Amino acid sequence: MKSLQDTTTLHNGVKMPWVGLGVWRVNEGEEVVQSVKWAIEAGYRSIDTAAVYKNEEGVGKAIKETGVPREELFITTKVWNDDQGYESTLSAFEESLKKLDLDYVDLYLIHWPVKGKYKETWRALEKLYKDGRVKAIGVSNFHIHHLKDLMEDAEIVPMVNQVETHPRLSQKELLQFCKENNIQMEAWSPLMQGELLGDPTLVEIANKYNKTPAQVILRWDLQNGVVVIPKSVKEHRIKENADLFDFELSREDMEKIDGLNLNKRVGPDPDNFNF
């Protein structure tokens, strides 16, 4: 990994950038348009949105305004829980595509493992993939048992599993399972929504490398083989979150960060959510 354009290769050969911009809780309109434009101008090529974020239109507008060729970008969106099921997922996808104003999406994800629905939803994603409407398909917030259950009936193994991951929730078993099954793991809330930035261990390591705690956390993810999509609406932070390629954490420092794990979540447990 030498630059922001560096990619991991998914099991179907599609190349996905290691670093992207997440736009969860970024307001539709000027805020999301500006954030995405700043990111693309800073060299980001991956943008992660979702139907439930209600900002797909702004993401699409920003993409058009930057003038970067579509094929150079990697755009992810997700089907929301209320739309899960076969036909309803196909309809939801068309709606997302229309809002984004794109001809295809690079990665389409099932947002949460809705019991009794995610297998039918996956069948719809497989159809979209076979029809060439999406370049890659995957899931979000799936535990190992969800993945195993899905893969029992699936024709296509998910290419990505996007989950909450950060030093307080390192998800080592899930990461190992994903690696064994050629599923690329991706971290949402990699900075634990800012909660980790004052952690003494991370501050100490950051000072050693002349980096910020945020940069150290994101670098830790990358060295573990995990894709990151940090969110920010501030231009200097968007640039800072991408400045990860001029240093490498030592094995000792990687282990120190591993040692911060408490299996602590800031988001819901995928086994226990009610939305």
Q: Can you read off the two tokens belonging to residue 124?
A: 């719809």
Contact between residue 205 and residue 217 where contact means Cβ atoms under 8 Å apart: no
Chain segment 30-80, per-residue pLDDT in tens? 999 999 999 999 999 999 999 999 999 999 999 999 999 999 999 999 999
CB atoms closer than 10 angstroms to residue 250: 11
Residues noted as catalytic: 53
Residue 267 pLDDT more than 90?
A: yes
Q: 138: closest CA among 117, 110, 118?
A: 110
Residue 1 pLDDT more than 90?
A: no
What CATH number was assigned to the domain covering residues 7-196+227-233? Answer: 3.20.20.100
Q: What is the CA radius of gyration of the chain?
A: 18
pLDDT at site 45 = 98
What is the overall mean pLDDT for the chain?
97
Contact between residue 51 and residue 79 where contact means Cβ atoms under 8 Å apart: yes
**pLDDT band, very low/low/confident/very high, at 158 (cuts 50, 70, 90):** very high
**pLDDT band, very low/low/confident/very high, at 226 (cuts 50, 70, 90):** very high
pLDDT at site 159 = 98
**DSSP codes joined into one string, 254-274:** HHHHHTT-----SS-BTTB--
CA distance 81 to 243: 35
Cα–chain-centroid distance for residue 239?
18
**pLDDT band, very low/low/confident/very high, at 129 (cuts 50, 70, 90):** very high
| pLDDT (mean) for 189-210 | 97
Give the SS3 label for residue 77. Answer: strand
pLDDT-above-70 percentage for the chain: 100
What's the CA dihedral at 31, 37, 41, 42 to 10 degrees? Answer: 40
Chain segment 70-122, per-residue pLDDT in tens? 999 999 999 999 999 999 999 999 999 999 999 999 999 999 999 999 999 99
Q: Where are the domains of the chain?
A: 7-196+227-233
| pTM metric for this prediction | 0.97
Contact between residue 213 and residue 5 where contact means Cβ atoms under 8 Å apart: no
CB atoms closer than 10 angstroms to residue 5: 14
